[in-house]
Every structure is written in C-alpha cells, then in structure tokens.
Amino acid sequence: MNEIICPSCKKAFKVDEAGFADILKQVRDHQFEEELQQRLHLADKEKESAVKLAEANLKNTLQDEIAKRDREIAELTMKNDLVLMEKLAQKERELAEQINKKEMEIASMKATIDKASIQQQLTVNQAIQQIEKERDTLANDIKTKELEKELLEKSLIEKFQAELKTKEDIIRLKDEEIALRKDMKQKLSTKMLGETLEIHCENEFNKLRSTAFQKNVYFEKDNDARSGSKGDYIYRETDDEGNELILPKSEQIPSDYFKKGESVRAVVAKVDMRNSTPVIILSRTAPEFLERLFELEVPEVFDGLITIKRIVREPGERAKVAVESYDDRVDPVGACVGMKGSRIHGIVRELRNENIDVINFTTNVQLLIQRALSPAKITSIELNESDKRAKVFLKPDQVSLAIGKGGNNIKLAGRLSGYELDVYRDGEVDIEDVDLEEFADEIDSWILDELKAIGCDTAKSVIEMGVEDLVQRTDLEHETVEEVIRILRSEFE
C-alpha cells in the first residue's frame, strides 16, 4: 500500500491504486479546508487586531473628547463665574443706588417732616391766636348779650309795671267812682241839681271807663247771645260790669261761624259811647288780632326776644308777617313756625285756614320786597324812592306766583314794603301775542279783570295755563273758561 502525506499538515492518507483519484480529491479538499481555516484564523487575528486598534483609537478619541469637554467645561465655568461676578457686581451697584436713593428719600422726608412740623407749629400758633380772638369776640358778644338781656329785662319790667299801673289805675278809678257816687248822693239835696250833676258825673265816669277798656286789648269770651238783621249776624256779649261787647259782621273773618256757647277770640277795635254807655267793638280782622295770637302761641314773641315789625292781612285769605330777632342765636321765622309747623297751625286754625307767610324783616327795601313776593323768584327790582313805586321784573312763569290768587300776594307785599309794585315780564316779548284788552268787545270786563288778577295779561298766557288751572285759581265757572279759551284761540287760527 502506498501513503500520501499532506504537505501542510503532514497527515498520511493510505490509498490503493484503484482509489487514488479519490484520495487526491480528499487531499485537495483537506488542503483547501486547512488553507481556509488558516485564512479564517488569520482573518480573525486581523479582525481582533483591527478591533483592538479601533478600540484604542476610540479610546483615544474618547479621551480627546473628554479632555475637550473638560476644557470647554472649564472655559464655561470660568465664563459663568465672570458673568455671575458681573451680575453680582451689577446687583451690588443697584443695591448701592437704591440705598442711596432711599437715604435721599429719608433725608427728603425728614426735611418735609421738619418743614411740616414748623408749619404745623405755625398753624397751631395761628389757631391759638384765632381761638383767642374768637374767645375775645365771644366774650364781647356775651357782654353785649348780657347788656341786651339787662335792657330787655328792664323793658319787660317797665312794661309789666306799666300794665300793673294801668290795672291799678282802673281799680283806683272804680274806687273813686264808687266813692264819688256816694259823696255826690250825700251832698246833693236839690232834685234838679242832683239830676244834673248825676248826669255829668255819669258822663265823666263813662269816659274814664271807656279809657280803661281801650287799654285792655284782648278778650276771650263764651258767646251766649246772638242777634242780627238782614242776614248780618252780630255777636253780643256783656262783661262782668254790664258793658256790651259787640263783634260785627264787618269785623269777622268771612268764613267765621260761631255756635252758642263756643269760645270766641277777638281784640278790642274801638269803644263807642251810646246813650252815655260804652259799647266795645271787637274785631277778628284787625292785624293786632294776629299779633296777639302770635304772642299766645310763640313764647319768644311774648318774652320780647322776637319782635313783630309789620303785619298785613286779607282776612280769611292771606297774611304776611315780618319778624325780627334780638338774639342772633334765635331764628325768628323758625321760632314762629315751630317744629313741622306746630306753632303756626294753631294760628291758622283760629283764622279759618288763612295762609300766613312769615318772613325776616330787613331795612333793605329790595330784599324785603323779594322776601314778601315769595314763592316767586324775582329777576331784578327798580326802585323809585320819590313816588314810592317799584318795578319788579320776573320770568313769565313766575308772574302768576308773584301776583297770587285774586292779586292778594302782590297787594300784601306792596303794603308790607310800603311801595306800589308793578310787575313786568323779563325777556323778549312775543310779537305774535295779543293783549287781553284787545278782546274787550268779546269778553266781559270782569272776566278780564279775573284773568289779570292771576297774572294772565296776554292771550297766550291764558291758553298755556289750561282750563283746570284757571278754574282753580279764579272764581270763573268751567264753561266760562272754555268759552274764553275758544275765543282766544280763534284769534291765532
């Protein structure tokens, strides 16, 4: 047998002649496999060395990157430290500026406080000086008020003493009358002489008695008797001495109506002698009656703290009272009216719902006229001192308020001020308006007078007022007013 040895691995292959070709093939395959394994082994070594090389390169690269990163981090850290230091420095500068600013503000505030303290001290000193001045003024006012009080007390004492003296005079006159009567009856022996002297004495006594009655100016009696003629009721009363007290119809308020036994208030208007007997005429329409009612209802008027300067009346319709106070602390109008009208209501009821306007008296004529014409608002006033006339200018919507119902308001204001008042419309006159006198041939004169009395002197002023207001403010009937308005409107159609 023959052997074949592999040249690479020295492996022996036994072959015979018949299988030589197969053996050669196996040898070749074995060689190829060996060569392949060697190549693979070589490739693995190369790969391993390449991997190691790559790992070494990668490691070096990573180390370089890490070193680079460390350098960058160091640089960033340095940069950040610089930025932070700059920011801290900036913050410190800002804080220093704020501290300086605050210190300046504190200094300014201190200066302001010091200035305010000085000013406040000055203000306090001024206030103290003002208070001292006011105290001195108040002390002077108190002294003045005390003097006024003393004068008022003195005047009241004198008034009381005068009234007491008057009453004592009346009593003395009565005693003298009785003594004289007795003495005359004892001394007279002749009948004719006695009758003549007795008549003479009676006349003298009646004169003295009438004088005494004129001093007693206020009565409040129970009405027990009533007589009358031709529809005019006259209330009669006798006093304790048998003197007759009469309240004529002319001296009564138009709406007065008394029942038997009812209490009647009045003042003595005059004393007449009838058949040697005094007859005392009473009145409820006299201004003195309203003055006495104020004395009863308002204690300040009775005490003399408030003086009634002037009174004008349209009995049963309206009255105006000008009052003045001697004490600056007392409001004369408020004291006369009372809380919610409590004082004035009693007077109004006694006067049968007569409207009473209480105003402050003043020596300024224009201001007095303005107050007297309330509630109308006056634009201007022109006075004529020589003729005692005054031109009062008002807006058109205020004319009717100034004139009042039946012209009572302007009449009373004129009597209160002592001037004749002429009312004029303020502003431009409507050239298309027509005066009421132009309708004298179509409308009765008494109707025109009624319309003028409430301030309507032109056609448009009557039309603008309306039917209901005209009926309420005048004594005209509804049909009459409608007819008048129809006539006036036809003028403008």
Side chain identity at residue 442, one-letter code: E
Homologous superfamily of 223-375 in CATH? K homology (KH) domain (3.30.300.20)
The interaxial angle of helices 20-187 and 191-215, nearest 10 deg, is 170
Q: CB neighbours of 362 closer than 8 A, spacing ≥ 6?
A: 368, 371
Give, for all 493 residues of the chain, the pLDDT tens digit: 456 566 666 666 565 544 566 666 776 777 777 777 777 888 888 878 888 887 888 888 888 888 887 888 877 778 777 777 888 888 888 888 888 888 888 888 878 777 777 776 777 777 787 777 777 777 777 877 777 777 777 777 776 676 666 666 666 666 666 666 555 555 444 334 444 444 554 555 455 444 443 433 334 443 433 333 333 445 555 556 667 788 888 889 988 888 877 788 888 888 888 777 788 888 999 999 999 999 999 999 988 899 999 999 999 889 999 999 988 888 999 999 988 888 999 999 999 989 999 999 999 999 999 999 988 888 889 988 888 899 998 887 788 788 887 788 889 999 999 999 888 887 654 445 677 877 877 888 888 888 887 777 788 888 888 788 888 888 888 888 888 888 888 877 6
Task: Please give the structure tokens belonging to residue 343.
Answer: 């004082």
Contact 369, 355 (CB under 8 A): no
Task: Judge whether 223-375 and 436-492 match in fold.
Answer: no
Q: What is the pLDDT of residue 239?
A: 59
In DSSP terms, 227 is beta-bridged to 234
- Which value, in Å, is the radius of gyration of the alpha carbons in the chain? 63
Q: What is the CATH number of domain 436-492?
A: 1.10.150
Distance CA 346, CA 355 (A): 12
Cβ–Cβ contacts within 10 Å for residue 343, how many? 21
Tell me which residue has tokens 């000055």. 122
Could you report the per-residue pLDDT of 103-121, keeping only the tens digit for each?
888 888 878 777 777 776 7
The interaxial angle of helices 445-453 and 478-492, nearest 10 deg, is 90
Helix (H) or strand (E) holding 72: helix 20-187
pTM for this entry: 0.46
Q: What is the pLDDT of residue 191?
A: 39
- Each domain of the chain, given as residue ranges in start order, spans 2-71, 223-375, 436-492
From its phi and psi, is residue 231 left (phi > 0), alpha (psi between -120 and 50) or beta? left
Do the strands 232-238 and 244-247 form a parallel or antiparallel pair, or are they unpaired? antiparallel
